[in-house]
Amino acid sequence: MIIPYINKKKIAVTEISDLLDRNEIAPQYISTANWPAEFPYTPDVRFRIAHNGSMILLEYTVAEDYIRAMAKEDNGPVWEDSCVEMFITFDNLNYYNIECNCCGKVLLACGPDRNNRTYSTPECVGAISRATSITDTQFDSCKAPDKWCVRLAIPVVIFFADNIKNLHGMKARANFYKCGDKLPVPHFLSWKPINVPAPDFHLPHFFGEVVFE
């Protein structure tokens, strides 16, 4: 996947949708149900992504039956909620997991595998700007609206295990996910397929190649 470049230095998170529209950024789909026998439910999940050299601009749009947002703060268990995720590696050694629930609580960690993760500091994860269509801050499972959206402005400074100055021309590997471990209908969807017997997103050898324009 080519991640398009948008030539604008200062971008507010509230501008992301309009910028993606004006630059005709097409959606990608998080639609692979890798474990259909046990978890067949496939909500409609899509994302659009671009960058301006110093920041990744990411928008998720989700249509699902139920939503949940019980994580109280950043770096909490957002994967139990209505959650969208980007996992990305720049060196094929360590990868970042950036996980966001429908209310904009974000988890950010880095490491070589599932069991060896270093969580970001509150200041680091707090540098990710968020805007979400869900106005409540915490609630248990309930009927979802027709769709919900979350937009993230992710500055390169949050990639704390790397020394990234500019994204131009960089090659990386990534996967994008939608989950909801404690929703009434749990599901585990991915952008690129994952060929293992049970749900597991922490498998960088299944990531797909991305190139920053």
> How confident is the model over 52-59, as a mean pLDDT?
99
User: What average pLDDT does range 40-63 have in this prediction?
Assistant: 99
In this structure, what DSSP letter does residue 186 have?
Answer: -
Model pTM above 0.95 = yes
pLDDT digits 0-9 by tens, 156-204? 999 999 999 999 999 999 999 999 999 999 999 999 999 999 999 999 9
C-alpha 34/C-alpha 174 separation (Å) is 17
Summarised one tens digit per residue, pLDDT across range 100-150 is: 999 999 999 999 999 999 999 999 999 999 999 998 889 999 999 999 999
Q: What percent of the chain has pLDDT over 70?
A: 100
Q: Under CATH, which number does the domain 2-212 receive?
A: 2.60.40.1190
Q: Are 53 and 5 in contact (CB under 8 A)?
A: yes
pLDDT single digits (tens) 155-165: 999 999 999 99
Any idea which residue has 């960058």 for tokens? Answer: 51
**pLDDT for 137:** 87
Distance of CA 55 to the CA centre of its chain: 14
Share of residues in the chain with pLDDT > 90 (%): 98
Average of per-residue pLDDT across 29-44: 98
Neighbour-count burial of 192, counting CB atoms closer than 10 A to its CB (0-12 exposed, 13-18 middle, 19+ buried): middle
φ, ψ (nearest 5 deg) of residue 188:
-145, 90
